[in-house]
A and B are shown apart, each in its own frame.
Chain A
Amino acid sequence: MSLSESTIAQLRQQLKSGDITPADIIEDLHQGMEKANEALGAYISYDVEAALKEAETADLSLPLGGIPIAVKDNINVKGQPCTCGSKFLAENYTAPYNAASVDLLRKGGAIPFGRANMDEFAMGSSTENSAFFPARNPWDTSRVPGGSSGGSAAAVGANIALAALGSDTGGSIRQPAAFCGNVGIKPTYGRVSRYGLVAFASSLDQIGPITKTVEDAALVLNHLCGHDVRDSTSLKADVPDFTSALGQDLKGLRIGIAKEHFVDGIHPGIREAVDKAVKQLESLGATIVDISLPHTDIGIATYYIVAPAEASANLARFDGVRYGHRAEGTTELFDHYVKTRAEGFGPEVKRRILLGTYVLSSGYYDAYYVKAQKARTLVRRDFTEAFEKVDLVVSPTTPVPPFKLGAFRDDPLSLYLEDLFTIPANLAGLPAISVPCGMIQHEGVELPVGLHLTAKPLDEVTLLRAAHAYEQSTEWHKHRAPKL
């Protein structure tokens, strides 16, 4: 097995024993990177020389010492570009500071390496909305890798990243992880500081890792979480060692299956894979409990009011004055704003800004925005009640397998409906993980399936415990995308 095909846990052993150096890992990753990236569009940019320079001084005594980790291009790394997949920041923006998550990763010894492709400003479920080039799925390059962290997932899935940071507003870590055969975890809202993450929808966004295994997810998560005074939504909560629960059985664990999650429209192969996974969890000692999440059907409508509303406010800062693109030849300020923003933003971002502005505008605020906030209360309440009976809720991560590029080009609403299972965790601020649970034959190709587990607030340990026990009892995490 090459270094780039290894897990972080495996490489840590080799680094500690002195068999390899951090530079060996970076060079091994780089070897296949150019060709694979041309086929996948996983990275917008990467700087091998800078990473090798950092590798020279890596402290191997640290838990992630010398481990390169890719970073989604909406997370600031000082001195590196941070385009957010947008023309707005493509030409002349260099991050003048580190995001808190990047500072913490560095403290743990990791080396940020590569800027992962993404849907523009994290808006999308396919990474087709990148202003540069679409990312592609390593299992079938005619298909999307998911989004908006599609570059992160494609890079990990194709072994051109060991792990990658993503951001998850409505499933943007978990859905691409499922589509590319990876593990992706969205921590509890507030667990990871959003300082330095370019905000899309502030009450929903959360940074988390995409990795090859659950153990790697726990290792990286150990160096992302913690209270940060620079983020008013950062939780003052103890950070456990997330690896501590790995290896435990599932005796005593109650797992909830909601009837609302198994409705018409789910691909039969995905349904079968998830049914088998539930039986597997039961065989590992978990008790399966039928539950109800009666407001599942309004999650998407709620999200697509709340998220664009917050996005329209957050993206007001892109005005061409302090950073980013500026339209030429404008003669007065309003003209400067409207032309700059028209030139800088792509179609999906404009659509969501318009939608968000509309639902917040006078006369429609109560009809849409306040109503969505009330619906959010109901979605949250569903989970609170469910977690009185169970420890985890299990569902498919996505209703359908990875789709072809362009499949939803003129039908945004149908694309939005793909996020059915992932959105509720963001609305309720809950931790959730996607772990590989099968492979299906679909339209002549073999594609991965994700199992979605949701836990109580701050209970990532139980989430990782169950995901790890399941993962280790199956072979799905060993299936890797074919070499390009």
Chain B
Amino acid sequence: MSPTEINIQHTAKLARLQLTEEETARYQSQIAGILDYMKVLEAHADLASVEPTAHAMPVFDVWREDIPRDGFGAEAALSNAPRKAQGQFLITRVVEE
């Protein structure tokens, strides 16, 4: 795989980012360069035989007691909403009339 083949517009779509033509050209070249550098990983032949590490420390599921407690109320949850109405987040219509 050659990093120059990156389809930056497709990646931007997956990332939910709109890019200008100038940004597309710039990121295309910069990300290709960065990915090219990642080939340094190939130099270590011992890589294939090891287990991947997602976390340096052990991670466990966390359970709490099933008891009532104060939580984040609707008012607090909506306090930073860009738009709100009737105690709910107001967003762009997703259902056609």
The answer to whether A378 touches B47, judged by C-beta atoms less than 8 angstroms apart, is yes
The answer to whether A298 touches B41, judged by C-beta atoms less than 8 angstroms apart, is yes
Q: Number of contact residues on A: which range applies?
A: 35 or more
The answer to whether A189 touches B33, judged by C-beta atoms less than 8 angstroms apart, is no
The answer to whether B62 touches A229, judged by C-beta atoms less than 8 angstroms apart, is yes
CA distance A380 to B58 in the complex (A): 13
Instruction: Return chain B residues, CB-CB under 8 Å to A430.
Output: 56
Give the Cβ gap from A284 to chain B, nearest Cβ, in Å. 30
Instruction: Return chain B residues, CB-CB under 8 Å to A367.
Output: 1
Q: Does A297 reach chain B (CB closer than 8 Å)?
A: yes
Q: Does A232 reach chain B (CB closer than 8 Å)?
A: yes
Instruction: Return chain A residues, CB-CB under 8 Å to B6.
Output: 358
Could you tell me which residues of chain A, from 83 to 138, have a CB within 8 Å of some CB in chain B? 92-94, 96-97
User: Knowing A97-B72, A361-B14 touch, does A92 contact B41 (C-beta < 8 A)?
Assistant: no
Contact of B38 among A305, A376, A429 (CB under 8 A): A305
The answer to whether B41 touches A427, judged by C-beta atoms less than 8 angstroms apart, is no
User: Knowing A232-B59, A342-B17 touch, does A358 contact B11 (C-beta < 8 A)?
Assistant: yes
Instruction: Return chain B residues, CB-CB under 8 Å to A151.
Output: none
Give the Cβ gap from A85 to chain B, nearest Cβ, in Å. 17
Instruction: Return chain A residues, CB-CB under 8 Å to B31.
Output: 351, 354-355, 358
CA distance A364 to B91 in the complex (A): 34
Could you tell me which residues of chain B, from 2 to 25, have a CB within 8 Å of some CB in chain A? 6, 8, 11-19, 23
Number of A-B residue pairs having CB atoms within 8 Å of each other in the complex: 172
Q: Does B92 reach chain A (CB closer than 8 Å)?
A: yes
The answer to whether B41 touches A339, judged by C-beta atoms less than 8 angstroms apart, is no
Q: Does A190 reach chain B (CB closer than 8 Å)?
A: yes
Contact of B37 among A295, A319, A330, A413 (CB under 8 A): A413
Q: Does B50 reach chain A (CB closer than 8 Å)?
A: yes
Q: Does A32 reach chain B (CB closer than 8 Å)?
A: no
Complex interface bits, A6-27 against B, C-beta within 8 A gives 1, otherwise 0: 0000000000000000000000
Instruction: Return chain A residues, CB-CB under 8 Å to B13.
Output: 338
Contact of B23 among A319, A335, A350, A427 (CB under 8 A): A350
Q: Does A377 reach chain B (CB closer than 8 Å)?
A: yes
User: Knowing A189-B57, A322-B89, A353-B15 touch, does A298 contact B80 (C-beta < 8 A)?
Assistant: no
Instruction: Return chain A residues, CB-CB under 8 Å to B57.
Output: 188-190, 233, 235, 429, 457
Q: Does B61 reach chain A (CB closer than 8 Å)?
A: yes
The answer to whether B16 touches A338, judged by C-beta atoms less than 8 angstroms apart, is yes
Could you tell me which residues of chain B, from 72 to 86, have a CB within 8 Å of some CB in chain A? 72, 76-77, 79-83
Contact of A351 among B30, B35, B41, B93 (CB under 8 A): B30
User: Knowing A203-B55, A229-B64 touch, does A332 contact B80 (C-beta < 8 A)?
Assistant: no
The answer to whether B41 touches A372, judged by C-beta atoms less than 8 angstroms apart, is yes
Instruction: Return chain B residues, CB-CB under 8 Å to A298.
Output: 40-41, 43-44
Q: Does B94 reach chain A (CB closer than 8 Å)?
A: yes
Instruction: Return chain B residues, CB-CB under 8 Å to A326.
Output: 82-83
User: A-contacting residues of B (Cβ < 8 Å)?
Assistant: 1, 6, 8, 11-19, 23, 27, 30-31, 33-35, 37-38, 40-41, 43-44, 46-48, 50-57, 59-62, 64, 72, 76-77, 79-83, 89, 91-94
Interchain residue pairs with CB less than 8 A apart (30): A188-B57, A203-B56, A232-B61, A233-B59, A297-B40, A304-B34, A320-B82, A324-B82, A332-B92, A332-B93, A333-B94, A335-B92, A339-B18, A341-B17, A342-B19, A345-B17, A350-B17, A353-B15, A355-B31, A356-B15, A367-B1, A374-B50, A374-B51, A374-B52, A375-B41, A375-B44, A380-B53, A413-B30, A413-B33, A429-B55
- Given A376-B53, A427-B56: 16 more A-B contacts, CB < 8 Å: A92-B80, A94-B80, A188-B57, A190-B57, A320-B82, A323-B80, A332-B94, A338-B17, A338-B18, A341-B17, A342-B17, A354-B27, A357-B15, A358-B35, A374-B51, A377-B51
User: B-contacting residues of A (Cβ < 8 Å)?
Assistant: 92-94, 96-97, 188-190, 203, 229, 232-233, 235, 295, 297-298, 300-302, 304-305, 312, 316, 319-326, 330-339, 341-342, 345, 347, 350-351, 353-358, 361, 364, 367-368, 370-378, 380-381, 412-413, 416, 427-430, 457
- Nearest first, the 6 A-B pairs at minimum CB distance are A429-B56, A373-B52, A323-B80, A326-B82, A338-B18, A342-B18
